[in-house]
Structure 1
């Protein structure tokens, strides 16, 4: 009986390690322009998204890249909700097509679940203004944030949705779009 328990325990450890490795393999081979690199990454569970970051303990900031699959006529967003889990209250960065082939980044606070997308100052510091690019079927948002409350544990959200006539439209209200929340540990991953 003890031998069987030992074998089952060893098998469980191997399966957990394999799962963690498989999740990391989804993002670890990503490349970024201009010599950008990040210490850690997570393949997020829905919407074809990944988060890459380097945490700087000396000043409580995280330098990050959020990448999500989208066609060129859509938008993607990533953010932190300093007050709780879910969309309402989140401070987000929204990437969408800008003029002349550029990608624009809107910063906004989602005060409700039916927000007005006004470009506003976020409730936490953003020491380096966000930028974004579109390549190979994905948007990538680059930003450095001062982690709210100087905490490495943050509630994060992300989304993807359509545009209509250049305007950001609501995302789907089912399936993966309602599952795009995660408690992110910027220290250990």
Structure 2
């Protein structure tokens, strides 16, 4: 009987600890600028990032907020790779970084290779609302509305983080979590 009681107490404590950890690291309690809100969220598996979205079936768009931890001398990026292969090469991405004036800018680019030139370009899918971003409390948040490629709710997504040098975006690490930051995302069911 004492052993059963000990097991029950230990199990209860583990469940409570897991719940507290999930609340601290989960995405459900996030707040956003200007009262924005999103219907769904996922805490992404690497790079201390989360994805929030609302899918609009009527027009095939998704309102998205991507949030990732970074220091002010870093950058973060999130994007969709419309090709069947997924991965970084071929991805259409939004890159947020702090400029010299302290304002956050968003660069849109298509990563043609795994060692891309980051030129500001029009993406291969519609972005009906210009992207914006903010930096607060040690994290960047990128806000974007996209027409999901192929009108499909299933998309290959990528995200990344790296350093700045003199305001210029530098290459991210080529190991560990930086190579694991890909996910097949379902914007309809989550």
Q: 1:54 to 1:121 in 2, by over 3 A?
A: same
Aligned 8 A contact 2:100 2:167 in 1: no
Q: Deviation per CA, 1:120-156, whole angstroms, max 9, x where unpaired?
A: 0000000000000000000000000000000000000
Structure 1 contact 61–145 (Cα < 8 Å) conserved: yes
Give the gaps of 5 or more residues in structure 2: none
Aligned counterparts of 2:111 and 2:38: Cα–Cα separation in 1: 28
Normalising by the residue count of structure 2, what TM-score does the alignment of the two structures yield?
Answer: 0.87
For the Cα contact (< 8 Å) 2:106–2:132, is it kept in 1? yes
Cα distance, 1:24 vs. partner? 10
Indicate conservation of the 8 Å contact 1:23/1:43, yes or no: no
Which 10-residue stretch deviates more, 6-15 or 38-47?
A: 6-15
Across the aligned residues of Structure 1 and Structure 2, the Cα RMSD in angstroms comes to 4.2
Looking at structure 2, the residues matched to 80 and 128 of structure 1 have their Cα atoms a distance apart, in angstroms, of 16
- Aligned-pair distance for 1:70? 0.2
Alignment CA distance shift 1:164-1:188 (3 Å): same
Residue 114 of structure 1 aligns to a residue whose secondary structure is coil
CA distance in 1, matches of 2:3, 2:187: 39
In structure 1, the gaps of 5 or more residues are: none
The verdict on how the C-alpha distance between 1:59 and 1:43 changes in structure 2, with shifts beyond 3 A counting, is same
**Distance between the aligned counterparts of 2:10 and 2:186, measured in 1?**
27
Task: Report how many aligned residue pairs link the two structures.
Answer: 189
The structural deviation recorded for 1:98 is 2.1
Distance 1:187 1:167, change over 3 A: same
4+ residue segments displaced more than 3 Å: 1-25
Q: Is the 8 A contact 1:73 1:163 kept in 2?
A: yes
Q: Distance in 2 between matches of 1:152 and 1:18?
A: 31
Query: Counterpart of 1:18 in 2: which secondary structure?
Result: helix
Equivalent residue, structure 2, for 1:21: 21
Deviation at 1:101, TM superposition (A): 1.4
The DSSP-based 3-state class of the residue aligned with 1:21 is helix
Q: How far is the alpha carbon of 1:33 from its aligned partner?
A: 1.3
Alignment correspondent of 1:123: 124
* Distance in 1 of aligned mates of 2:89 and 2:20: 30
